[in-house]
Chains A and B, each alone.
Chain A
């Protein structure tokens, strides 16, 4: 499994833990899936996802530094792929 696929699986599993498995049944998680428009995650659920990813991958994942330069519109438009590629870039 490539690194991106492994991260994608992890993100999918954590979204299920936070928002409920039924959300995954309704919305298969793909790289193009949008957190807001497709999954309709609440902002606090997105924070919970960031916390769990930090726990999983450690301090190298500077999630807050990553979003600090983004506008609210950019944050609202984030996709699963954006997040996966960001985590991958922190690990390499």
Chain B
């Protein structure tokens, strides 16, 4: 596996396709770069050089006990894209918040921005995550249906996923970092110059965040797709088409 050193950690990074660069960040906990690899990334790779990476603590990247705040994770993104002059940026959930933070702090580096199901305020993510439930069975109940079914039929996958969730929820600073993360300021959102697409699910509890971002980010376009928070799983084709059109 391609492992790239950044910020003192090893990150699993993979690239698909050729063309203008697009970087995609996945969501926390059950997300890995596979979230994009098996959904929207192959479609984008027809016309782009798509770079995917496992966030710290996830997938095949190193698993430090600290640094799950947006500033640190945005710095991870910066270090992993240091060789790219300017690129388009796509993120889901917490990965979308990392993308927002990066676009605000480094406007010169981001061409176009696609925000999928970013929760606002960020701290609400911790409160709403049933994955932080007290028992493994409750954790499994809180998974999206496609993943829950796969896990229910497989002890090995369930065991590995739960071990990862337990580390992140109980042995790392992730939960505390999420709760301590302040909301984005309207004046910061107004600074975003990247052409921005906001994608939210019709059945997602995060919908309100999409409405707020649409009014605060200059020129942002909000699209509601049929699905819930895990929009890349619920609406794989629709999200792929929307991203292809936005990044064309």
A36, B154: Cα distance in complex, Å: 8
Measured between beta carbons, the chain B residues less than 8 angstroms from A44 are 12, 32-34, 54, 59-60
Within the complex, what minimum Cβ distance (angstroms) separates A24 from chain B?
13
A47, B39: Cα distance in complex, Å: 12
B positions within 8 Å CB-CB of A: 1-2, 12, 14, 16-17, 32-35, 37-39, 41-43, 45-46, 54, 59-60, 146, 150, 153-157, 160-161, 233, 236
Given A37-B153, A42-B157, A44-B32, decide whether A68 and B1 contact each other with a Cβ distance below 8 A. Answer: no
Within the complex, what minimum Cβ distance (angstroms) separates A27 from chain B?
10
Measured between beta carbons, the chain A residues less than 8 angstroms from B35 are 43
A positions within 8 Å CB-CB of B: 23, 36-37, 40-44, 46-48, 51-52, 64-65, 67-68, 71-72, 75-76
Measured between beta carbons, the chain A residues less than 8 angstroms from B153 are 37
Q: Is the CB of A40 within 8 A of B161?
A: no
Measured between beta carbons, the chain B residues less than 8 angstroms from A42 are 34, 157, 160-161
Given A64-B41, A64-B42, A72-B146, decide whether A51 and B233 contact each other with a Cβ distance below 8 A. Answer: no
